Chains A and B, each alone.
Chain A
């Protein structure tokens, strides 16, 4: 046993003694409750109370305003299982997550590598890549609606370059509406992926890269065998953020396509809104919200476990 480990155990004993309660002559643990009370009231009052209340109303058949809601137990949940639109939202969310995560990761990584390559006007490119992140979707949605309209800019460009056969009503048909929503999301969020990768790459020991070059590794080999493995933590964090973001997706599909056409861009968030507000099925919307919460927790736990498992290796 080394001297260092012995010392660590002693410190541990001292700490556990100080933390023990009631011992005569030992320092009392300072009462913490009053200090955390404001935060506790806020979190319990606003978040956990809201979750609990949502779980309660998910057992009601209620329009949200009438004074006599009907208790229906788990009926809302059994209805959800038979609801084809719900399963469509799950499919859309899964496809949306996979596509946006993969493309954003790829683009973010490429941009980050390029920006580390001493490009001219690199600062300008960084700003251009990041600007979409700070633009509110509510501002950009009308722009995209116009751009992808049948007589919009995209079709106009296609016609002018001789690709008029490809012109189509992008957000007005089920086959292309979801890809448009994914494109907008990728455009909006690639800046974040790029910034995180760019920052993570500054942490790589330059001597490792230098050693790789001396060993004759090509740029691609260096990227795949050294840089990419070093980015694992960042990629997992982005995966968690992307998954939670996909589950929470609301603004872009609601503002650009209102979940349509024919539910082609309906996500859990837009469906909860549709059921709760326009249709007044607050209980059903509550049940959907509870399911969304449970799924989000499961996804976060899985991604955390995957991340820890890889780190342990």
Chain B
């Protein structure tokens, strides 16, 4: 009897430990993805948590939400802005835990690969909203980049296109400068600005996405279409055209076009703030910068950049210079800026679908998107109504902005959709090692090719 008691006494703590382990395991199992849509909630009421890195200011997001709430007043949308550099770190555990957003931003490329398993297939939703021929009504670039494994991971809200420089029109006017069209003109413009103690061109070369934009534009000047070919494996990163691209990239640093210390700069917030505070005359940004042609967004951006009481100044898009001198027009390229994905773990899926459908497929929602000039709308039938838009200086901005929108809507070259996170990391390593003189363009291209092969890209 005593022996039995002793054994029980010894076993008790172990049984407590076992019970605790079982409880933890059971709780963990409860947190798993059921993927069950039977309890989707109401389609016209509820609370939807939306996480995104864009719109990059909550004022723009609140404009969308306010317009949505005019039609659906009983659905509360909580927008949480997450900096793009923290996006993966924040979203991955949030989605995995089931405590994350109901709706989240999705971008073609690496994000689709990483988060597709958490996104509801929205093919049926698109058909329900726009009819069986829905694919003919939206920009094709917004479908291909957001699809993976036969699943439409998100509905594209709008597209962005890059390959343009933006200039501070006031600075160019003050020093009687014209936008550069060649590398030598670019260098001359920078010399004039530097003589007058104004920064020339600012780039956040520590961020891969924006380095890719500049490199892709250089590559399009060297040999149009080459960047896309190497991105999908039809050509190699060691191609002479890419080596030349990296050599021109290096020249931007050596000739003083790039600002000192560019490889330590982030495009957001560093380069963006420096340009918006008038320290530099040029920056490499895409169509998302069109929003800052408006007085409202420019004022908000200046405020966010820490400038109080500043007067908005007009900015203008200009074509990327023919830096290779080969006579090629450096064409633009683009992707869906962001689609809205619905989490498989959302407990308010029906309300989330209502919101996503309104944003991505309704004429009202798309018009609000278009008029913000942050994205070009996904619906091809919608264009910005410039009567609704207050530009900083309509006399000089309206024409170039309209031309930009027209030009961008015809673009078919992808921006980042073909690149995985590993290849993007390899591009950043190549760009910074060349810029800092740690590697020659040839060696960097070779290392980049190895990185792409290690990442599983198959080359012909």
Question: Which residues does A use to contact B, with CB under 8 Å?
Answer: 31, 33-34, 37, 41, 45, 63-66, 149-151, 168-174, 177, 257-258, 260-264, 277-280
Contacts and interface: CB of A to CB of B under 8 A. Distances in A.
> In the complex, which of the residues B10, B89, B436 has the most CB atoms of chain A within 10 Å of its own CB atom?
B436
Contacts of A260: 206, 263-264, 432
B1 to A, nearest CB: 17
A262 B16 contact: no
Nearest to A275: B425
A96 to B, nearest CB: 18
B250 to A, nearest CB: 13
A47 B86 CA distance: 26
Given A65-B92, A262-B429, A280-B114, A174 B13 contact: no
Contacts of A66: 117
Given A45-B24, A63-B114, A277-B88, 14 more contacts: A33-B13, A150-B259, A173-B261, A173-B264, A173-B436, A258-B266, A261-B264, A261-B432, A262-B432, A262-B433, A278-B421, A279-B422, A280-B88, A280-B421
Interface string B75-96: 0000000000100110010011
Nearest to A281: B422
For the complex of A and B, list the 6 residue pairs with the smallest distance between their C-beta atoms, beginning with the closest. A172-B261, A169-B261, A172-B264, A261-B263, A262-B432, A169-B260
7 contacts: A31-B9, A33-B10, A169-B260, A170-B261, A262-B429, A279-B422, A280-B114
A100 B379 CA distance: 58
Interface in B6-35: 9-10, 12-13, 16-17, 20, 24
Contacts of A172: 260-265
A257 B264 CA distance: 7
A37 B12 CA distance: 11
Contact of B264 (A37, A63, A151, A177): A177
Given A41-B17, A172-B264, A260-B263, A277 B89 contact: yes
Q: How large is the interface on B (under 10, 10 to 19, 20 to 34, 35 or more residues)?
A: 35 or more
Contacts of A177: 264
Contact of A171 (B88, B261, B435, B436): B261
A298 B88 CA distance: 33
Contacts of A149: 261, 270
A153 to B, nearest CB: 15
A31 B8 CA distance: 13
Interface string B255-284: 000011111111000100000000100000
Contacts of B270: 149
Interface of B: 9-10, 12-13, 16-17, 20, 24, 85, 88-89, 92, 95-96, 114, 117-118, 205-206, 259-266, 270, 279, 421-422, 425, 429, 432-433, 435-436, 438
Contacts of B114: 63, 65, 280
Contacts of B92: 64-65, 277, 280
A109 B144 CA distance: 64
Contacts of B17: 37, 41
A98 B67 CA distance: 59
Contact of A261 (B20, B85, B118, B206): B206
A279 B425 contact: yes
Contacts of B279: 151
B88 A150 contact: no
A172 to B, nearest CB: 2
B436 A174 contact: yes
A257 B458 CA distance: 33
Contacts of A45: 20, 24
A174 B265 contact: no
Contacts of A64: 92, 96
Contacts of A33: 10, 13
Contacts of A262: 263, 429, 432-433, 435-436, 438
A40 to B, nearest CB: 8
A277 B114 CA distance: 11
B425 to A, nearest CB: 6
B9 to A, nearest CB: 7
Given A66-B117, A172-B262, A277-B92, A261 B16 contact: no
A173 B92 CA distance: 32
A260 B118 CA distance: 32
Contact of B261 (A37, A65, A150, A264): A150
Contacts of A278: 88-89, 421, 425
A270 to B, nearest CB: 13
Contacts of B425: 278-279
A182 B95 CA distance: 37
B20 A41 contact: yes
Given A260-B206, A262-B432, A279 B421 contact: yes
Contacts of A174: 436, 438
Contact of B436 (A257, A261, A279): A261
A174 B20 CA distance: 51
A136 to B, nearest CB: 17
B419 to A, nearest CB: 13
Contacts of A63: 114
A183 to B, nearest CB: 15
Contacts of A37: 13, 16-17
Contacts of B9: 31
Nearest to B12: A34
Contacts of A264: 436
Contacts of A263: 429
> In the complex, which of the residues B88, B206, B262, B438 has the most CB atoms of chain A within 10 Å of its own CB atom?
B206
A33 B6 CA distance: 13
Contacts of A261: 205-206, 263-264, 432, 435-436
A263 B438 CA distance: 11
A171 B436 CA distance: 12
A262 B328 CA distance: 31
A169 B438 CA distance: 17
Contacts of B89: 277-278
A173 B263 contact: yes
> In the complex, which of the residues B16, B118, B260 has the most CB atoms of chain A within 10 Å of its own CB atom?
B260
A171 B264 contact: yes
Contacts of B265: 172
Contacts of B96: 64-65
A268 B447 CA distance: 22
Nearest to A85: B429
B88 A258 contact: no
A33 B13 CA distance: 7
A281 B157 CA distance: 30
A168 B260 contact: yes
A210 B260 CA distance: 57
A65 B117 contact: yes
Contacts of B421: 278-280
